[in-house]
Structure 1
């Protein structure tokens, strides 16, 4: 286990990225200036003391937060009466966050059951030149003109917020000692293809099974292990998004599929614009395995257990190729038999069609033969042996 964290654990997380390095969800959105952002997050485990991590890690200028609050969310953007807590920063009501930095709020007392939904509001009085975000949000959020941090109900001039903006984690002191499971990976971790606003990524569904730990989802849609592109590569963000997690107890590596898929994708005109989002030379099976070894070594330095998922099929998708399928199977064979991990979660076995092993079962994908639907992600979560986190 890790060193001392003063009892804090991360109960919810969203990996930061630059708005221009995402899926484009923020393109065309009005600049954030003199605006209140109200966002809903669902924590995994419960506790009685909470703090919020805001982020300007991809900002190019300082970020001023004029005011911030947290409370239990009500449907439709409201905040439950009596649950509102003013967030402060070293005792002050606001804070200026340097470019490239995060900031933690002061702790507040708030009794939170497991799987509680929180409403987090922050007022940005100035203009945000470069928004640090997570794309897509997969949970409803709103932008409201002016300072509406204290509004108990969602004002009528609120507009939807298409990304998770300036917010990266919720941390709390649990009622009983607990550890955090950090799942790091790509869109299949992020929950792409699941029902928006329903908390149906497989890490969130794992938390619903009553795991005696907290779960932090550090998936980025389109992410790779070895090369930047859509978000920083896992090797580049591993210290920030995983190893710096308060209460870290377990790491689940669920990455590598995009490294293989992009490297071996057909080089035809129809995919040219898509592939341009992924710079860097193609990688080999040996490159991917070496990347896993690096991540395992860095995690073991923290004294935590490291698990890996096998790479699920993607036959039938636009990026599929026979060469990529051969590479996927070779990497999966190493994951299963190489002895590098404390345990293996065989997601390939859960999702593959018995009659067409290069493809996801028809009832488990979101229509693109690449991402799961709600049932597919449920099957992954249900396949996990909970004793791994005991």
Structure 2
């Protein structure tokens, strides 16, 4: 099911969002002006040609890239085999407000699970940074134009978000299809060890699943905006427009239920809940949202899988009402017949002695997000033949 016209297949992705609707990691960061951003991404599947998708989709003004480069990442921020990126043959480009921009292709043979380094120079101030927040791979901000520097300059500082890049596509050596996972923080990899690629979609790629693209956003919901654009609203851009799309995995709805059934008082969650507008939703609403995604994906002729929602008792947002709602939706996911297959993540993570809780060794300490072992357990539970 790869793209028969161009051969491009997406190998890495990070769902774009505004710096103002994430976790606020850029708050207080110096303005991005006359700086180079250097960021590391890991390909899920390999190929011989590469192109980078830059993004100004949440920008409030045109974005100028003065120079850009992609190469093989060296530990510590270095680069080897760097290739200058161009845009319709030009070294610099201005990306219109609200738009993405694909680089021209470059020859850069890279195997599956290769780490690439992407550098871009920003000669002018970026008014609103389109980003992905948080980032689990260390990136850097370097004063001036350091795009071509093979080693990380000593004056580099850590970049706290994934900034202005949203995807890397490759031309693989044979037929291939992309697997796109869309979800929330549990898909994004929250709780895993940084710089280890331990989100469960990345671990699924490490098991040999092929081209796996992680389109999770921490705090994301299915039906309403808040932390990132709602899945129903971003589905066409972040999932259905993926080059080489063959499979969609839905892992959404948990935050919709948790926020809808969270205590509405002046307790510890009061400030957090202000990030999430919209009226509370029902289990019927969440089920209807899944059906919408299935229908839209099937129009593209792709297979659609879903994960069940894992437990959350012990987390701040837990209520008995939320647990009841989670069980209702999970039962529908398992038995409703809407999906080509179900990945029963609830069964993988739940404590056999206390099924409304995650096993102690599978959560990161907050009873909500996975530990490295927890995410490995999810990836290991997936039948790779589903993607054959």
Interval of TM-score (by shorter of Structure 1 and Structure 2): over 0.9
Unpaired segments ≥5 residues, structure 2? none
Q: TM-score, normalized by length of structure 1? A: 0.98
TM-superposed CA distance for 1:176, in Å, is 1.2
Residue 67 in structure 1 maps to residue 67 in structure 2: yes
1:153 counterpart SS class: coil
* Counterpart contact for 1:202–1:381, Cα < 8 Å: yes
CA distance in 2, matches of 1:259, 1:355: 26
1:314-333 aligned at under 5 Å gives the runs 314-333=312-331
1:160-179 aligned at under 5 Å gives the runs 160-179=158-177
CA distance in 1, matches of 2:2, 2:302: 7
Instruction: Look up the match of 2:333.
Output: 335
Unpaired segments ≥5 residues, structure 1? none
CA distance in 1, matches of 2:146, 2:3: 40
Residue 222 in structure 1 maps to residue 219 in structure 2: yes
CA distance in 1, matches of 2:286, 2:96: 35
Instruction: Look up the match of 1:275.
Output: 273
* Counterpart contact for 1:2–1:303, Cα < 8 Å: no
CA distance in 2, matches of 1:155, 1:148: 8
1:210 counterpart SS class: helix
Instruction: Look up the match of 2:27.
Output: 27
TM-superposed CA distance for 1:158, in Å, is 0.5
Residue 232 in structure 1 maps to residue 229 in structure 2: yes
Q: How many residues align?
A: 387
TM-superposed CA distance for 1:266, in Å, is 1.3
Runs of 4+ in 1 over 6 A off after TM superposition: none
Instruction: Look up the match of 1:245.
Output: 242
* Counterpart contact for 2:2–2:9, Cα < 8 Å: no
CA distance in 2, matches of 1:342, 1:382: 19
* Counterpart contact for 1:15–1:241, Cα < 8 Å: yes
The CA RMSD measured in Å over matched residues stands at: 0.8
* Counterpart contact for 2:2–2:175, Cα < 8 Å: no
Summarize deviations over 1:210-234 as a string: whole Å, max 9, x none: 12x3011000000000000000000
1:66-105 aligned at under 5 Å gives the runs 66-80=66-80, 83-105=81-103
2:123 counterpart SS class: strand
* Counterpart contact for 2:3–2:9, Cα < 8 Å: no
Summarize deviations over 1:13-71 as a string: whole Å, max 9, x none: 00000001000111110110011000000010110000000000000000000000000
2:137 counterpart SS class: coil
TM-superposed CA distance for 1:238, in Å, is 0.1
CA distance in 1, matches of 2:186, 2:52: 26
Residue 137 in structure 1 maps to residue 157 in structure 2: no
